[in-house]
Amino acid sequence: MRKLAILLMLAIMLLATVKAYNMQNYPEGFTLAGTTKTVVVGENAAISDIRAANQIIAGLQAKGDQELIVEPDYVLPDLDKDSLEIVNPFAVGAATWDKNIRTYGRNMIIVGGPCANRIADDLLDNPSDCTEGFKEGEGKIIVFEMGTNDIILVAGLTAEDTLAAARILRRYYNYDLKGEEITVSTDEVVKG
């Protein structure tokens, strides 16, 4: 019994290794043909988390700086939608609710912090205060490795903070993303 407990602890430690994927490689592993992609939103999350998920999916669908989905809050002059090259057409079901995730058996992008998303809560070790580690005016992009799969958490203290981090992933090609944790100034993203 004792050996089984030790083996189980070792397996958990191997599966929950944090921060192996480097954001410099983004969106690799999330856009390659044949990979399973999932954007996960909290079942009871605010509508802003759904908007954030849409931002991320839009960035993954287009090639480079070619926008695929134009939302009212973006003014993109001279955009020729017919000339867009879709490199990763997401099927319906690319996004799901947190309640539908049972394992970390695929690469995933988790949208929303531990107050809004059960997967985020689990990744951050179920903090007693679900706002712990987040500050108003900052969004975060944090990478976790779960076995052979990469999990990216996109979250902030407020809805605006989460949306700001998602906007960075939407236009990842405009940013020098590096490391396993990126802090985003909400004011700079909104102004930019």
User: How confident is the model at residue 103, as a pLDDT?
Assistant: 86
Closest of 82, 76, 169, 185 to residue 135, by C-alpha:
185
List the domain range (segments joined by +) for residue 169.
Answer: 19-191
Mean pLDDT of 68-88: 41
Q: Looking at 28-37, 68-77, 160-169, which range is the least confident one?
A: 68-77
Q: How confident is the model at residue 5 (pLDDT cuts 50, 70, 90)?
A: low
2 occurs within a structural domain: no
| Residues 92-121: tens digit of each pLDDT | 457 888 998 888 888 899 999 999 999 999
64 occurs within a structural domain: yes
User: How confident is the model at residue 19, as a pLDDT?
Assistant: 44
Residue 72 has pLDDT above 50, yes or no: no
How far is residue 30's CA from residue 36's CA, in Å, rounded to a whole number?
Answer: 8
Q: What DSSP designation does 67 have?
A: -
147 occurs within a structural domain: yes
42 occurs within a structural domain: yes
104 occurs within a structural domain: yes
CATH number assigned to the domain comprising residue 62: 3.30.379.10
Number of domains in the chain: 1
User: How confident is the model at residue 166, as a pLDDT?
Assistant: 94
Global pTM reads 0.75
Handedness of CA 127, 158, 182, 109 (dihedral sign): positive
9 occurs within a structural domain: no
Which amino acid is located at 62 in the chain? A
